[in-house]
Amino acid sequence: MPDGVSEILRLVDRWEPRTYPVRWSLRDTITYAIAAGADARNARSLVWESAPGFTTLPTFATRFAHDALLDFGSGVQDAGLPSFAKALRLTLHRPLAAECAEAQATAALSLKERSNERLVVTLDVETGAAGERIASSSLDVHFRLPGERSPRRPSPDAGAAGAPGGGEAVEVRESVHPYQAAVFRTLLGLTADGRVQDAMHIDPVRSRELGLSAPALPGEVTLGIVARLAERHLGPLGVSGLLGAEVSYRSPVSDADELTIAYVPAADGTVDTEVRNEHGRVAVRGVLRFRTGPRTP
């Protein structure tokens, strides 16, 4: 067994549930919304605190796992195995406050899949305050093993016809701008200090080595874009109030991509979602869950 795999398995075995203090400010929630492409023109209620209905972009809850991810990253960075986020599940137990001084996140790490070809671990994070649950998230991290072949990428036209769930899709196009990744890096305090796990989000040279035209947009930002645009464009269909998401990450999104997003809303509040990058490849696919409400023509 490769030493890198053994090191990761030892980390999983040693990891006891860990608790982290969680605090966020109004500046944090607005900064995240701007990173997801919101501004005073297209999403005033996310970036202008004096706006009627000012609220927090629900996918900001992905940030509650930040300290746990740092611990996890430091534990695997010397294993020598490239890794990438494979799937994310998020559940909101109540609407997010714009700021919070005292919350706690408890993180558990487990082995999801292990074979000669695949190694996948799951980081589960539960966040709460004053005895009340705020959000739960679960992230699957896939490690590329020595000798593992990269999965064959589908052709740009594969699956392009129709909608993810086979119904009538609402299609939205969105331009990603380089400032969005920069804003997110500022929020997290990331810099180009040699940390390998951050290189593809920071270093243009490393990004080109991975086949990207520019640094990759972090998955949390991509999910924020998808959730923000869903409420904006599906509001007339009764879609509002994100309750959760379950998505898989298929291909990188560059911070200079032109995205095509297909939404297929259902009567039960679920929205099948598929995001394609500028090369026509599926970047994200999954389901968003919203509150059900009256539908208007």
pLDDT tens-digit map of 202-221: 667 767 776 666 677 888 89
116 and 180 part of one domain: no
Confidence (pLDDT) at 152: 47
211 and 129 part of one domain: no
17 and 139 part of one domain: yes
Asked whether 102 and 129 are in contact (CB, 8 A), the reply is yes
Please state whether 91 falls in left (phi above 0), alpha (psi between -120 and 50) or beta: beta
User: What are 50-99's pLDDT values in tens digits?
Assistant: 988 899 999 999 999 999 998 998 888 777 787 778 899 999 999 999 99
Rounded to whole angstroms, the Cα distance separating 223 from 289 reads 13
pLDDT > 70? residue 143: yes
Structure tokens at 201: 């989000």
Residue with tokens 């539960």: 126
Pick the last residue of a domain from 116, 149, 182: 149
Pick the last residue of a domain from 123, 149, 175: 149
126 and 188 part of one domain: no
Q: How many residues does the chain have?
A: 297
Residue 222, classed as helix, strand or coil, is: helix
Name the band, by pLDDT with cuts 50, 70 and 90, for residue 272. very high
Average pLDDT of the chain is 85
Name the band, by pLDDT with cuts 50, 70 and 90, for residue 3. confident
159 and 114 part of one domain: no
113 and 163 part of one domain: no
In total, how many domains does the chain have?
2
Q: Which residues share a beta bridge with 105?
A: 20, 127
Average pLDDT over residues 148-167: 48
81 and 175 part of one domain: no
Confidence (pLDDT) at 156: 45
Confidence (pLDDT) at 87: 95
Average pLDDT over residues 139-151: 76
47 and 83 part of one domain: yes
Rounded to whole angstroms, the Cα distance separating 221 from 223 reads 5
Pick the last residue of a domain from 149, 172, 190: 149
Domain that holds residue 224: 151-297
Higher pLDDT, 282 or 145: 282
Q: Which residues contact 250 (CB under 8 A, 6 or more apart)?
A: 281, 282, 283, 284, 285
49 and 181 part of one domain: no
CATH of the domain at 77: 3.10.129.10
Please state whether 119 falls in left (phi above 0), alpha (psi between -120 and 50) or beta: beta
Helix or strand holding residue 23 (H, E): strand 18-24
Higher pLDDT, 60 or 143: 60
133 and 61 part of one domain: yes
Confidence (pLDDT) at 68: 94
pLDDT > 80? residue 151: no
pLDDT > 90? residue 11: yes
Confidence (pLDDT) at 181: 79
Query: What percentage of the chain has pLDDT greater than the value 90?
Result: 56
136 and 206 part of one domain: no
pLDDT > 90? residue 111: yes
52 and 87 part of one domain: yes
Q: Which residues contact 4 (CB under 8 A, 6 or more apart)?
A: 79, 80, 81, 143, 146
pLDDT > 70? residue 32: yes
Name the band, by pLDDT with cuts 50, 70 and 90, for residue 145. confident
